[in-house]
Amino acid sequence: MSVPIIRTVAALREDVAAWHKAGEVVGVVPTMGALHQGHLSLVRAAKAECDRVIVTIFVNPKQFNSAEDLENYPRTEEEDARKLAPFEVDAVYVPDGAQMYPEGFATTVSVAGLTDVLCGAVRPGHFDGVSTVVTKLFTQTQADRAYFGEKDYQQVQVVTRLARDLDLPITIVPCPTIREEDGLAMSSRNLLLSDRARVWAPELHRAMEEMAAGLLAGGDIAELRAAAIARLERAGFTKVEYLDLRACDDLRLLEKPDVPARLLAAAWLAGVRLIDNIAVG
């Protein structure tokens, strides 16, 4: 099975124009490659709901706030194509940097408020990079539906807001987080974990589950948070960037899960930054 790889926006537009002319619904799954079952679950959801599916693979330099992180990010295009083959997607759009950000590119899309907290607070410029590339991917693909993972919960909120604010004619579809058997949220960055760190990485999810259960039982958030951080430190995590209870609708900080709430965390293990989030209640 060959995978229809497209590298230019002009070629992509030609295909999409024909599909839309035929009245077909087009779905897009934006990714940075190094595909795993989490990405493939989005492809599966898109295939189930759309007539045509485009997977995009672009390691977006604008959303990295460290040159080293960008350099180290896994790139596995051939393997990705092999993993996508059984899904028979209609296009795999793999633009290069010049296609996405041609000489003189000067525009930034920036969502205020939602991006001040969590990953936005610790990774300056990250969400501007995400918002800019996602807006471009939406206008380049002209897709009707876009599939995003709740693994990146704040990202889904930001993308939903920008599509609404800019009247982009696209529906954002959030999809559940896919986990390894031991609970670790699947992530391309897991490839960067040493064997030893991989053994301890699921402690992030376990500590969050324990904290969520404590919150639901009416426990004190400061005590539960301190216990979770101590547990992570025992597992070898070196830094917990945040471990917050936040409202699902606008990500405001909560003390108790008295409205629909989510526990969100980012923590470093052996030089790798892991993020996760779970519903509380």
Question: Residue 39 catalytic?
Answer: yes
Q: Is 177 a binder of ligand AMP (CB under 6 A)?
A: yes
Smallest distance from the beta carbon of 186 to ligand AMP, in angstroms? 4
Comparing CB distances to ligand AMP, the nearer of 100 and 224 is 100
Q: Is 154 a binder of ligand AMP (CB under 6 A)?
A: no
Residue of 236, 226, 228 lying closest to 210 (CA atoms):
228
Sign of CA dihedral 99, 272, 28, 36: positive
Q: Is 118 a binder of ligand AMP (CB under 6 A)?
A: no
Considering only the stretches 38-46, 68-76, 207-215, 259-267, report the one whose residues sit in contact with ligand AMP under the rule CB under 6 A: 38-46
Q: Is 148 a binder of ligand AMP (CB under 6 A)?
A: yes
Comparing CB distances to ligand AMP, the nearer of 114 and 221 is 114
Smallest distance from the beta carbon of 279 to ligand AMP, in angstroms? 14
Task: Provide the binding-site residues for ligand AMP, judged by CB under 6 A.
Answer: 31-32, 38-39, 41-42, 148-149, 151-152, 175, 177-178, 185-188
Which residue numbers are catalytic? Answer: 39
